[in-house]
Amino acid sequence: MMRKIRRLPLVLAFAVALILSAALAQHTALGSALHSSQHQTQSVSDFDNSGVQHDRPQDLLAFRVAEATQKASQTQTAEAVAIDTEAQQPPNFVVILVDDSGLMDFSAFGGEARTPNLDQLVQDGTWFNNFHTSPVCAPSRAMLVTGSDSHLTGVANLPEMLPEGYADQPGYAGELNESVTTVATRLKAAGYETYATGKWHLGHSETNLPTAQGFDHSFILGGSGANNYDTRGYVPMKPEAHWYRDGEETDLPQDFYSSKDYIESTIAFHESQSDPNAPFFSYIAFQAIHAPIQAPERFVEPYREVYTAGWDALRQQRYEKAKDLGIIPADAALNDIFPQFRQWEEISPGLRAEYVTDMAVTAGMLEAMDFYIGEYIQYLKDSGRFDNTVFFITSDNGPDGANYKVSLAQIWQRMMGYHKDPDRVGEADYYGDIGPEFAAALSSPFSFFKYYTGEGGVRTPLIVSGPSIPQGRTSDVFCFVTDVVPTMLDLAGLPTPSSEEAVPITGKSLLGHIQDPEVSVYAEDEGVGLEAANSAAYFLGDYKIVKNNIPLGDNTWHLHDLKTDPGETRDLAEQEPERFQAMVAAYDAYAQKVGVIEMPEGYSAEGEVTRKSVMYLLKQYGPFALIPLFLLLLGVLWRWRRQAKGRQHSQVKA
């Protein structure tokens, strides 16, 4: 109680802001924090790499045996037997999930942040630049660990973004249902040791936590986001976060930093591995670069002046780099800037400086994540596990374009002890965000960002790197987040699960394409549907229909040829009406099959988060929020009584 009383001045200010901003709640998003601490960077130039470009085998196991036989001819018999045994060993798997990262954020793809460890994995593997996810995090995570469409898993949308009553609908509970089978469960049954660290966001109950979903050991953040140094939340509706270790809620160590501790916990799991010869599956889901964006100060300093030219310049710069790298055609157009966006020059110098600092922390957070990935790679090398490990690295969706620099959110941040001092970015209390304009710039050359099914919200990098994966190859074949699980099962030599399962795998294996780039993942007549937060898309060959929700979208279907127009600048619906109508019908069939439920009119994901945050604050601080209204009422009554006495006095004198 005393703590709330000490916060009374801020609460009074909050109450006034709450009253003024409630009407804007449907179009405002809350939450996000930034920060820093210290650690050194690492460059990895010593990855084991024979430099040999392997032929593409039709059978992976046959290839590995043949490779071992070839090496055996150059060594003694005993060594040949050892190599052959190693070749028969199922591969280890490491799945690394970055949060809210766009296609071009890693330095190998033109990003500003230095990510040498990820860059080396790119060089040693295959990069898929036409890989797609959900536009929001939890559905992507559900599909990544199951291989099934998010609606079938029970995670069609985020609970935080659902209107009242929708979480009771089939597929919309926001947690893995009891019928779904994770890849960890499948691999564990095949003798794998399985670990999960990082952001989970697939349910908090005993049946939803990793230990109930096939993972032997886990250390996870249960919810959608949190401070990277302590248990504070990042939006008013989630003021405190919860971590779990092996299914039990746990406290954080005093020197906790998310990227560091997730890697340290993963290594500790390896060290306690019950069978050191067993293959392993390690799932590492970083908080980087989800709000609150935070990084040790040493990683932030190199980027202090990188973003001073503003979001328009960055947007153009990434567009040019995308053409130079062959990510988009040289004649591909860049989409127009949204009319709701501000011009860099029209905002105040102070606000520009704040954005520049926030972007520096974003780049620093990516570099910090890469540094700790490097430590994990070095551990795998030192322990003899690296050479037989296949890495999958991707992001859950595009950059976060929510606007957290609004008065109501900033008052709540102050109440939680956050600050905006650019000279103190190394503290856990620093809170910042990049905003919609910089999110659009990071999404360039694509349109839209997180929450939307425009390419900027759903096209993210996928890196596959490891033994027998072609090195230095870039693939532009269409693939989807559900394809990772069947690819892993294929590489492990496990049978394809039955389509008659209660929740069947809907993805396709990438292995055929990895072995032969002329082989597509999906047939020409085989489409892929996608829906989340009332935005939707359907992919068929090079074409895509897309419907983006408000406030930036118009809730109308559009048709695009992604091969020639990846920026989605030209709507072909009127030019190709037959194709357009056929794809809309195909999407409708998909939506009916998986159980898509339309959101109510006027719904927006960001607006729903804001509404729930406002309702939480009213419930939490309602009595204090009424104080200024009570004082105002007392003032009105006092003035009314004074005026009444004045009138009575005048009447007596008369």
Domain boundaries, the chain: 89-399+434-594
Name, in order, each residue with C-beta under 8 angstroms of 112's C-beta and a sequence gap of 6 or more.
Answer: 303, 306, 307, 363
Q: How confident is the model at residue 462 (pLDDT cuts 50, 70, 90)?
A: very high
Question: Helix-strand-coil percent breakdown of the chain, rounded to 5?
Answer: 40, 15, 45
Q: What is the dihedral of CA 298, 302, 305, 310, to 10 degrees?
A: -90
Decide if domain 89-399+434-594 falls under CATH 3.40.720.10. Answer: yes
Q: How confident is the model at residue 649 (pLDDT cuts 50, 70, 90)?
A: low
Name, in order, each residue with C-beta under 8 angstroms of 513's C-beta and a sequence gap of 6 or more.
Answer: 475, 477, 479, 519, 520, 521
Q: How confident is the model at residue 653 (pLDDT cuts 50, 70, 90)?
A: low
Beta pairing partners, 220: 198, 244
Catalytic residue list contains 137: yes
Pairing outcome for strands 558-561 and 543-547: antiparallel
Name, in order, each residue with C-beta under 8 angstroms of 200's C-beta and a sequence gap of 6 or more.
Answer: 141, 209, 210, 218, 220, 221, 222, 244, 285
Are 311 and 445 within 8 A, CB to CB? no
Give per-residue pLDDT as tens, 483-525.
999 999 999 999 989 888 999 999 999 999 999 999 999 999 9
Report how far residue 290's alpha carbon sits from residue 287's, in angstroms, rounded to the nearest whole number. 6
Location of structure tokens 């270790």: 245
Catalytic residue list contains 151: no
Give per-residue pLDDT as tens, 83-123.
233 456 899 999 999 999 999 999 999 999 999 999 999 99
Q: Which of 201, 217, 290, 558 is catalytic?
A: 201
Are 516 and 56 within 8 A, CB to CB? yes
Question: 19 in the Ramachandran plot: left (φ > 0), alpha (ψ -120 to 50) or beta?
Answer: alpha
Q: What is the pLDDT of residue 432?
A: 80
Report how far residue 525's alpha carbon sits from residue 509's, in angstroms, rounded to the nearest whole number. 17
pLDDT at 77 over 70: no
Cα–Cα nearest to 291, from 223, 222, 225: 225
Burial class (CB in 10 A: 0-12, 13-18, 19+), 382: exposed
Report how far residue 25's alpha carbon sits from residue 542's, in angstroms, rounded to the nearest whole number. 38
Q: Which of 35, 39, 132, 137 is catalytic?
A: 137
Cα–Cα nearest to 157, from 539, 605, 611: 605
Torsional sign, CA 182, 187, 191, 197: negative
Q: Which amino acid is present at 300?
A: V
CB hemisphere CA count around 11 (13 angstroms): 19
Lowest mean pLDDT among 83-92, 212-221, 276-285, 297-306: 83-92
Are 415 and 10 within 8 A, CB to CB? yes
Report how far residue 373's alpha carbon sits from residue 262's, in angstroms, rounded to the nearest whole number. 10
Q: What is the pLDDT of residue 21?
A: 44
Give per-residue pLDDT as tens, 375-405.
999 999 999 999 999 999 999 999 999 888 7
Are 69 and 75 within 8 A, CB to CB? no
The widest CA-to-CA distance across the chain, in whole angstroms, is: 125
Give per-residue pLDDT as tens, 178-232.
999 999 999 999 999 999 999 999 999 889 999 999 999 999 999 999 999 999 9
Interval 579-584 mean pLDDT:
99
Pairing outcome for strands 193-199 and 238-240: unpaired
Question: Would you call 309 helix, strand, or coil by DSSP?
Answer: coil
